Amino acid sequence: MDIEKEDDKSKIDFSSDTSKKDIVTENGENSSLSPNLDHSDTLHKLPDESLADLLPVAKKVAIATGAEQYNILQNNGRLAHQEVEHVHIHVIPKPNEKEGLKIEWPLKSLENGEAIAQEMIERLKASKS
């Protein structure tokens, strides 16, 4: 594993045997990781090889922040709040109630959960990737 600073003051190159990632520190807290060899716009379009190191690198970044509580965030599409048109993962420390990621996610009743689970199983079996 190689880690080196780029000319851009907030960008770090992270290289391993299987891939190369860019780590960008934003506002001193949020870090975003992206595979710099593949610029797919959504996760499902990214080759599995490009995904191999993303979560292990996110884990290393989370540890490096020193935060005991944090969020790992990955958005796909404008409605899902994706602002940059390539796959990237955010590591967002949550030091207290006021700082870090704020999530408002209204829970819905799951009346037909068994049928939904069965449908998902069939879709997963039929998936080619």
Residue 68: both structure tokens together: 């005991």
Whether 88 is catalytic is: yes
CA distance 71 to 57: 14
Distances 17 to 1, 2, 12, 52, 118 between C-alpha atoms, Å:
7, 9, 17, 11, 38
Q: State the catalytic residue, choosing from 44, 81, 88, 90.
A: 88
Looking at the annotation, which residues are catalytic?
A: 88
